[in-house]
Structure 1
Amino acid sequence: MANARPSHRLVALRRRAHRGPAGAARGLRDDRGLARGPFLAKLEGHAAVLAATRPTAVNLRWALDRMLAAARETPGEGGALWERLQAEATAIWEEDRAMCRKIGEHGLALLPDGAKVLTHCNAGALATGGIGTALAPIYLAHEAGRQVQVFAGESRPVLQGARLTAWELTHA
């Protein structure tokens, strides 16, 4: 993706070829040589397009806002800002991974052996930096030897629940 034209990179983001703030930062790799103003303008443009591709993804909007704030408060030109974006994306990922684990640990107490769970959309490892939010307790229940039956409903327009959640759980 590094050599793809910017419009192709944004299509890749929209189609989830690479996701989230780290994907947006990777999309700016070729622009590291830009001066501060043009780099920030491109970053803001990419962030706006990425946010529009997933208007219901609240955590994506939050992470993009955090990335924009990190870039704006970092002194220097494009290269320095790009390095800061890489560090911020890594920090977001590590925090999300830890939060997903905590959600799983708390939710595990609610899942007895033989539980039946209905999920909506995709809130597993494919959608987060860790083992997921809604799926985290299910993964931990499985690790603990509990049998949990999951019903992954469809969600529109691209059937993330039926398509992604079902795939993710069959490969867990």
Structure 2
Amino acid sequence: MSLKEIKLLLTEKFGNEVIVGEETGGLQAALLITPDSIIEVCLELRNNPKTYFDFLSSLTGIDYGVEASRFGVVYHLASIPYRTQLTLKISKENDRDLNELPSFNSITSVYRTADWHEREAYDLTGIFFEGHPDLRRILLPDDWEGYPLRKDYQNAEYYKGIKID
């Protein structure tokens, strides 16, 4: 299916408000999805026999910068039998307060591979995934302060008495 056909399929199923935009200028086109609809959209794309995006190949947390005060998640879906790929993006504003992490719905109920991908996004960018079965750090120690892939992250000079910078 083409991007245009997938877009039509999703708008017929969920209404025009489910897709808030699209990016066609890069190497792979992307659909910008309403954040609250990501579970339903992924479920439809996985279960629909016309699309059958049966594999989540990658999930990435994005910090759009201090000025934008926006965080997002990029999902790379693949249909193994149809040999096609699709990129979905969601984003929302956040005031960057470390006590109020940006929050999106977890898609672990749709794709089991999202489990570790979401943990990595949480660990490195500080994106919280509502409904995740075991959201905790995966690469850094549990007592690490901050999120290294945030644009405003300041490297620590020492960790437990060991120089790291």
Q: Same fold by TM-score, threshold 0.5 exceeded? A: no
TM-score interval, smaller chain: under 0.3
Q: Structure 1 or 2: larger helix share?
A: 1
- More strand per residue: 2
**Rg (Cα) greater in structure:** 1
Normalising by structure 2, we get a TM-score of 0.25
After TM superposition, the score normalised by the length of structure 1 is 0.24
